[in-house]
Amino acid sequence: MTFSQNQSTEEKIVTSHVKIYKFIVIIFFIGWLLLGYIANQYKVVDTLNTSVIQDKKENLSNEDIFASKKVQKTMNIIRNNSFGFDKKTNIDIEDAMLKSIVNWLGDKHSTYFTKKETTEFQEALRGDFEWIGAVINENPKGIKIMKIIINSPAEKAWLKAGDIMTRVGDMSIVGKSTEEAVKVIRWPKWSKAEITYKRWEDNTDLHVTVIRDKVNVPSVAEKMLPNNIWYIEVATFGEHTTNEFIKSWNILVSTGAEWIILDFRNNGGGYLDTAVDLASIVLPQNSPVVIIKQNDSKKNEVLLTRARSKSNVSIPIVVLINEFSASASEIFAGALKDHGRALILGDKSYGKGSVQEPFDLGDGSIIKITTARWYTPKDTSIDEKGITPDIWLILTAKDYENIFDRQLKAAEIIIKDQIVSSGSVEQMKEKYKINTFNTLTKE
């Protein structure tokens, strides 16, 4: 009995120890899990805090970049050490900063316009200028007059197409770009431009005083060429271009014209809506004119021709383009080419296949930013590629010297042939795919 009782007591003690051990193990395990959970939670919170702090830093960096210590230090160094900086105004500094930022985008078509540049840009689209009224181009001997605007100060001063200007006042313009020359020639109305020039092959210096005035340059001009061929020149896609084109087109239709040449050479573009308006006159309603593609593909759209009177929509058309035909003029030419509506002749166009939207900055200045790219109705991008003409014909240096428009002459020959032979655009392309116009001479 005693042994049995002792054994029972020992078993009870062992059992008790086992239970205590199990309890300790369980407590330890729970404690380990709890510590792990707390540590994990701390790590998550720490990560979130780090992320929030980083986000705040990035946001602060974006918001306060122009107030950063580095920028402030740089400006203080310039302000205190740059010779002549005291003559710079806050507007000068602001304009320079904004131009630099837009240039940094690396997009040559995105631009910041100062208040003065905005005014000039809008004048160009309206066709209003205070100048002498001459279309000019660079020339080794100076700046050559390519065209005189009707009723302009240049015409009143008896300047002629082909004259080469060498000086304006005391400033030589020999070797200057067209843009540089324009800045010298353009000036407020009633101011005098003392111009030195040479007439054609004569090297004698001639002098004339031109009184600058406000010259309204029509964006559209029409004339009748020999053999009853109608010619319409579109210089830009500005505010008044649609109405001016409709007026010219109606004159053409009222005469019963059966063929037409549309000249978009040197047309740098303008308003997209104007290109659609003009295409609406020569293409059937609801024809695709241009495809606009944006970063968000859901915002892509196809612009169609609008409802307009469609007199003579089948009239044969030759469209002239060159390397200075850009933007809206390429949209128009690309649409007519894709629809087989016209034969395109000349040089490959500029290749501006992007859309810029102007944003008013509230003080007369604007920022023009690329917001989308455009494609022809057949979904072809021309950005940096240009519109390839059906018949490639380039004006030579001799043509410029002789003021001989080889491209226009070739267009007249083709369109007469098209009428006589009743050939389609495709047939004319095939017939003249071997260029035979390089041997043309001025009559």
The backbone torsions φ and ψ at residue 429, rounded to the nearest 5 degrees and listed phi first, read: -60, -45
Instruction: Supply the pTM of this predicted model.
Output: 0.67
Q: Each residue of 61-87: b (16+ CB within 10 Å) or e? A: eeeeeeeeeeeeeeeeeeeeeeeeeee
SS3 content of the chain, % helix, strand, coil (to 5): 45, 25, 35
Cα 287 from Cα 32, distance rounded (Å): 74
The amino acid at residue 11 is E
Nearest CA among 329, 353, 335 for reference residue 268: 329
- DSSP annotation of 424: -
Residue at token pair 């303008």 = 270
Cα 362 from Cα 364, distance rounded (Å): 6
DSSP-derived secondary structure for 147-212: EE-TT-HHHHTT--TTEEEEEETTEE-TT--HHHHHHHH---TT-EEEEEEEETT----EEEEEE-
Q: What percent of the chain has pLDDT over 70?
A: 81
Nearest CA among 219, 240, 241, 220 for reference residue 231: 220
Supply 383's token pair: 């950005």
Supply 252's token pair: 């053409």
The backbone torsions φ and ψ at residue 404, rounded to the nearest 5 degrees and listed phi first, read: -110, 120
236 in Cβ contact with 325 (< 8 Å)? no
- DSSP annotation of 389: P
What are the pLDDT tens digits along the chain (443 aa)? 443 444 444 444 444 544 554 544 454 455 555 545 544 544 444 444 444 445 444 444 456 677 788 888 988 999 899 998 888 898 888 899 899 999 898 888 888 989 888 887 776 666 556 678 887 877 888 998 877 877 789 988 989 878 899 999 999 999 888 778 888 888 888 899 999 999 866 788 999 999 998 877 778 988 888 878 899 999 889 888 999 999 998 888 788 777 899 999 988 888 899 999 999 999 998 999 999 999 889 999 999 998 765 555 678 899 999 988 989 999 999 999 999 999 999 999 989 888 888 899 999 999 989 889 999 999 999 888 999 999 999 988 788 777 789 999 999 999 888 877 777 888 888 888 777 788 887 76
